[in-house]
Amino acid sequence: MTQEVIVLGMTVVLFIVLSIALRGFASTGNLLSLVRSVSVLGVLAVGMAVVVIGRGLDLSQVAIVAVLPAWVLQRLGQGVPTSTAVLSAVGIALAVGLANGLLVAFVELPALFSTLASGMLVYGLGRSLLLERSFVYVNPGHEGFLAIGQANFLGVPIPVWIFIGVAVAAHLFLSRTQRGRFLYAMGDNYEAARLSGIAVRPLTVMTYVLSSLVAILAGLVLAAEVASVNAQIFTSTMIFDVILVVVLGGVSLLGGRGSITSVVVGTLLIGVLLNGMVIMNFDNNVQNIVKSIVLLGAIIVDNRLHPRDEETARQGDI
């Protein structure tokens, strides 16, 4: 039994319990809003998972989510065409991802520190050079832009479609393409991958670029959903939620383990949990406590089921 299956089991049990206990929980409307509420988180987590599977970490995601969409909205307000505003933000995100990748792969800095620093740099530069104020609204007349956060397609909100699209694309990339398989190899054993002729450094750069691109996408969807951006979310616990979802499903921070399915399952568990707690009117602190207990529980169960020492002790000599 894998952690993925355990988390899926927990989700199902929780779902059944909440459906019985809470009136209105199992209605179609609530379920759609449940998935919709975690779509942005899920998209970010898919990007993070790609980095983590390659034994990296990207803490700068949230800086992109906070600063670049705010800049896009500000420029929309100044009358810049939507495509220009969006594409220039995507360009900057690309540059940030490239810089992260180069720092980790070629300068050989630890991912934890380099992306922490680059995230703070992006936020600081963005706030001082690009943004006039930290809270930016969408001005009237940009319904096209708002649609990516608010419209429905076939009765399902666009953000949910975007989550599905990103997840499916990432899944196909990881499981069907050579680069995807190489990423697992690199996360499992970097030096073994390098020695066998895998181009590990370009591969590393690619993961950070993907993560940044996914982050600007998630940020724009979020901005359209609420028709505004508060750049202060950089200082929220958002990045920890993303890591929580990634780790919860069984993508190990050691690299090489886990899959996009596990990220989706982790996202759903958090969605069910948050939705239930919102309906039950739990306050933010209690929500955080519950989230942390769930994370600890999932990791402990995984450890019990896969005692790594026994496994390593068995190889070679018995």
Partner 1 sequence: MSFVEIRGASKAYAGQLAIDKVDFDVDLGEVHSLVGENGAGKSTLCKALAGAVVLSGGTITIDGKLMKFETPKDALDAGVVMVYQETSLVPTMTVAQNIQLGKEKALNRLRGLYIWGQQLLSSLNFHVDPTALVSSLGAAQKQMVEIARAVFHEAKVIIFDEPTATLTPEEKQHFFDLVANLKARGTAIIFISHALEEALETSDRITVLRDGKNVITAPAKEFTRAKLVQSMVGRAVTAVERKPRKPVGEKRKVLVVENLSQGTMVKNMSFSVYAGEVTGMSGLVGSGRTETAKVIAGATKRNLMHGGMVYLDGRAVRYRVPRQAVDDGIVYVTEDRKLNGFYETMSVGENIYLSWLASKDGRGLFVSKGQQRKIADKWKDRLSIRSVSKDPRINELSGGNQQKVVIAKSLVQKPKVVIFDEPTRGVDVGSIQEIHEFIRSLAEEDIAVIVISSYLPEVLAISDRILVTRAGRVVEEFTLENATEEKIMYAAVH
Question: Which tokens belong to 311?
Answer: 């496994």
CB-CB contact of 212 with 93 (8 Å): yes
Spatial CB neighbours of 261, under 8 Å, sequence gap ≥ 6: 4, 171, 249
- CB closer to partner 1 out of 106 and 135: 106
| Closest C-alpha among 43, 262, 64, 135 to residue 35 | 43
CB-CB contact of 76 with 142 (8 Å): yes
CB-CB contact of 70 with 134 (8 Å): yes
Shortest distance, position 210 Cβ to partner 1, whole Å = 16
Shortest distance, position 119 Cβ to partner 1, whole Å = 29
Shortest distance, position 300 Cβ to partner 1, whole Å = 21
Shortest distance, position 40 Cβ to partner 1, whole Å = 30
CA distance 101 to 112: 12
Query: Rule CB under 8 A: which residues touch partner 1?
Result: 176-178, 180-182, 184-185, 188-189, 191-199, 201, 256-257, 310-312, 314-318
Shortest distance, position 173 Cβ to partner 1, whole Å = 10
CB-CB contact of 294 with 248 (8 Å): yes
- CB closer to partner 1 out of 59 and 193: 193
Question: Which tokens belong to 316?
Answer: 């070679």
Shortest distance, position 254 Cβ to partner 1, whole Å = 9
Shortest distance, position 309 Cβ to partner 1, whole Å = 10
Question: Running DSSP on this structure, what letter comes out for residue 315?
Answer: S
Three-class SS of residue 318?
coil
Question: Which tokens belong to 270?
Answer: 């958090």
| Closest C-alpha among 88, 79, 71 to residue 127 | 71
Shortest distance, position 176 Cβ to partner 1, whole Å = 6
Cite the DSSP H helix spans in 54-157.
Answer: 61-77, 82-105, 111-125, 143-150
- CB closer to partner 1 out of 25 and 184: 184
- CB closer to partner 1 out of 13 and 172: 172
- CB closer to partner 1 out of 19 and 189: 189
CA distance 209 to 98: 6
| Closest C-alpha among 211, 221, 216 to residue 36 | 221
- CB closer to partner 1 out of 24 and 316: 316
- CB closer to partner 1 out of 49 and 93: 49
- CB closer to partner 1 out of 212 and 252: 252
